[in-house]
Structure 1
Amino acid sequence: MNELDRQRAVINETDKEMARLFEIRMNAAAKIAGYKKERGLPVYDAEREAAIVAKNTENVSDPALRGYYADFITHTMKVSRDYQTALISGVSVAYSGVEGAFASIAARALFPQGRFFPQRDFEAAYQAVVDGDCEIAVLPVENSFAGEVGTVIDLIFSGPLYMNDTYELTVHQNLIGVPGATEDTVRKVISHPQALSQCAEYIRARGYETEEFSNTALAAKHVAALADPTVAAIGTVEAAQIYGLSVISRSINTGRDNTTRFAVLSRRENDGEHTGNKFFLVFSVKNQAGALAEAINIIGKHGYNMSALHSRPRKDLPWKYYFYIEGEGDVNSDEGRAMMDELSAVCSRLRLVGSYRGGADLV
């Protein structure tokens, strides 16, 4: 056997071993896909993949080969992603509204291969996951201009689902109406209360009447059915296209940097490496002087920053309130567990809704 044949034999044996390891790797990828599907996590995690490439490249002893290995492992991870996407394809996702709603756009961005089940309202979308009819719910929790979405926050407080990620969608509100409608023909504008709030300056300047609707896309659908040039909706370009409407005026929301944050909710919580440095905590304090201040001090004492702290009236107890915070830090650490233990002593109700990275990285 000459040198060429010897080296080809080495490559053949190496390829055989790589095939065995490839199968092991893909089986592990399949299990990860199942984990992500149950918890509504996106397949692609840019931060983690970049860290893996950097770490694994250090294992190559020959500096001249490190760049080639980086290309090799990057391609290998893409193969794993493609396989996971195929396995996750068909994940059932509930959202509030109809096709063309902002929640629909967010859900499709998060789960491009998903099966989507629009629901009549936030509660129905949440309950669809609780009942096992859907695996994931994508619901808005906050808008940078209009603030919290109280109905969804109340569901999170009272319900059993976990928040496993968040996704920020830049919102562009548009005035949409039947073909031929103009700003001058419009007399009434209908949309979701938050959309009306976001466009209040535009509406006031033109003296339009307003009517609240349960959803921006449903408002667009209603305008299409009316076929009346005096009635317009506020909604997305996608909704206009779906329902055969024209965009009368674009980006009419007051805040140009208008973002809605959506929560990914499921029956299973994150664990291990899929948790992150953000967490969502809901609690109510005991009816004693200084209880709220003590709870806040406990959180700070353990080194956690509260990026948000809000109160909401309890529906089950008149004139009583619950609180929710979004914190920064690893709540699954020993420090986090100690914090939760101390909080349980001053809180009448305490629940860690989720620990996540936030701002899902999408391709």
Structure 2
Amino acid sequence: MNLDEIRHKIDKIDRELLVLLQERMSLAIRSKKFKSSVVDVDREEVVLSRAERMNLALVPGSFSRRLLRTIIEESRRLQQEDRPLVAFQGEPGAYSEVACRHLMPGAAFIPCMEFIDVFQGVQEGYLDLGVVPVENSLEGAVTQVNDLLTTTDLKVIGEVRVAVNHCLLATEPMDLRDLRVVYSHPQALAQCQRFLLQHKLEPRPYYDTAGAAKMLARENPRAAAAIASKLCGELYDMEIIAEGIADGTANSTRFLLLSRQAYAGRGDKTSIIFATAHQAGRLFNVLRLFAEADINLTRIASMPLRTDPGNYSFFLDFEGDMQDANVADVFAQLEKMAIVFKCLGSYPADRTGI
């Protein structure tokens, strides 16, 4: 083993340590919801004593204790800041976190394994807010999220549309010609197929774009890269080898901000879910209500109704607030016509498109 190889291994360990530290801080912030006080002296002493007892030849117990003491003090500081906990599905650096950072700058962003974890965490009060993708410009509706929206009591209080800008990331600067394999979510690999073929790169599916970047940062395999967001490059100290590598440019995802309480002000966009009897003209009659009230629809989508698979739930977004006179009048008529009707909330429409 030569000096370069030793340093390569050290770099890998340093990245892994920092990624693990980020995970620990995230868990520490979440723990506040389950405690009566930030400081728990007995618990801290258990952690410190355990570290001190570990028989590590090159890491004296006294150093382990000092190191963990510093980490615990930083955990305390983060908990005392009392940041809102904003949940998203995926690993840190996912496009969902990009949306979180735009919608709730300065919050603590909490990754969750599944969409249901985001909904349940917010509903039960362990998390303050949730950010979920509802539709993609290329792939269409995010079915699982739409399904959860039909059963949740949570309210939509904001939205943002995030441009999906795929980047090729590596752990160190390198020439494209030195790369052999690329890891990412199958959807991202498919969207960058032309780039991969052009540069003779072998695509290797991974469960998540940000997860692929995280794996690369921790394991540091040679001649490998990941397709993920630019944010992943910043979080995991990775080099952007190429940016904007998707085959098409018009790729964006719309995200919703979920809360237990409705938006406090007046919104200029509203989302509803409804179902009508499976009879000719029923859907047309509902849509005619909006047309006659001069209400502009911005989205309509459908999916099978859980309780009646032969029928459909319809997701409708439109311009206006549910307190507007024309909207209230449409709602009054719609409640009589629909077999299911739910207003997810009125909220500020996204005008930025990041």
TM-score, structure 1 as length reference: 0.67
Equivalent positions of 1:111-130 (< 5 A) are 111-130=104-123
Aligned to 1:270: 263
Q: Which one of 280, 285, 310 corresponds to residue 294 of structure 1? A: 285
Aligned to 2:297: 306
Which amino acid in structure 2 is aligned with residue 308 of structure 1? Answer: R
Give the 3-state SS of the residue equivalent to 1:345 in structure 2: helix
Give the 3-state SS of the residue equivalent to 2:210 in structure 1: helix
User: Cα RMSD over matched residues?
Assistant: 2.8
Equivalent-residue separation in structure 1 for 2:89 and 2:173 (angstroms): 30
Equivalent-residue separation in structure 2 for 1:325 and 1:229 (angstroms): 48
Which amino acid in structure 1 is aligned with residue 161 of structure 2? Answer: E
Equivalent-residue separation in structure 2 for 1:212 and 1:343 (angstroms): 45
Aligned to 2:86: 93
Equivalent-residue separation in structure 1 for 2:290 and 2:267 (angstroms): 17
Which amino acid in structure 2 is aligned with residue 343 of structure 1? Answer: L
Q: Indicate the percent of aligned positions where both proteins have the same amino acid.
A: 29
> Structure 2 stretches of 5 or more lacking a match?
1-79
The 1:99/1:161 distance shift into structure 2, 3 A limit, reads: same
1:109 and 2:102 are equivalent in the alignment: yes
CA contact (8 A) 1:121 1:214 kept: no
CA contact (8 A) 1:185 1:229 kept: no
Q: Which one of 324, 338, 351 corresponds to residue 333 of structure 1? A: 324
Which amino acid in structure 1 is aligned with residue 123 of structure 2? Answer: V
Superposed displacement of residue 231, structure 1: 4.2
Aligned to 1:160: 153
Aligned to 2:334: 343
Which amino acid in structure 2 is aligned with residue 286 of structure 1? Answer: A
Superposed displacement of residue 212, structure 1: 4.3
Superposed displacement of residue 165, structure 1: 0.9
Equivalent-residue separation in structure 2 for 1:246 and 1:169 (angstroms): 22
Q: Which one of 165, 175, 196 corresponds to residue 168 of structure 2? A: 175
TM-score, structure 2 as length reference: 0.68
Q: Which one of 113, 116, 131 corresponds to residue 124 of structure 2? A: 131
The 1:295/1:185 distance shift into structure 2, 3 A limit, reads: farther
Equivalent-residue separation in structure 2 for 1:210 and 1:198 (angstroms): 11
Superposed displacement of residue 330, structure 1: 3.2
Give the 3-state SS of the residue equivalent to 2:215 in structure 1: helix
Equivalent-residue separation in structure 2 for 1:105 and 1:333 (angstroms): 32
Q: Which one of 309, 315, 336 corresponds to residue 318 of structure 1? A: 309
Aligned to 1:250: 243
> Structure 1 stretches of 5 or more lacking a match?
1-86
The 1:268/1:243 distance shift into structure 2, 3 A limit, reads: same
Equivalent-residue separation in structure 2 for 1:319 and 1:209 (angstroms): 43
The 1:316/1:246 distance shift into structure 2, 3 A limit, reads: farther
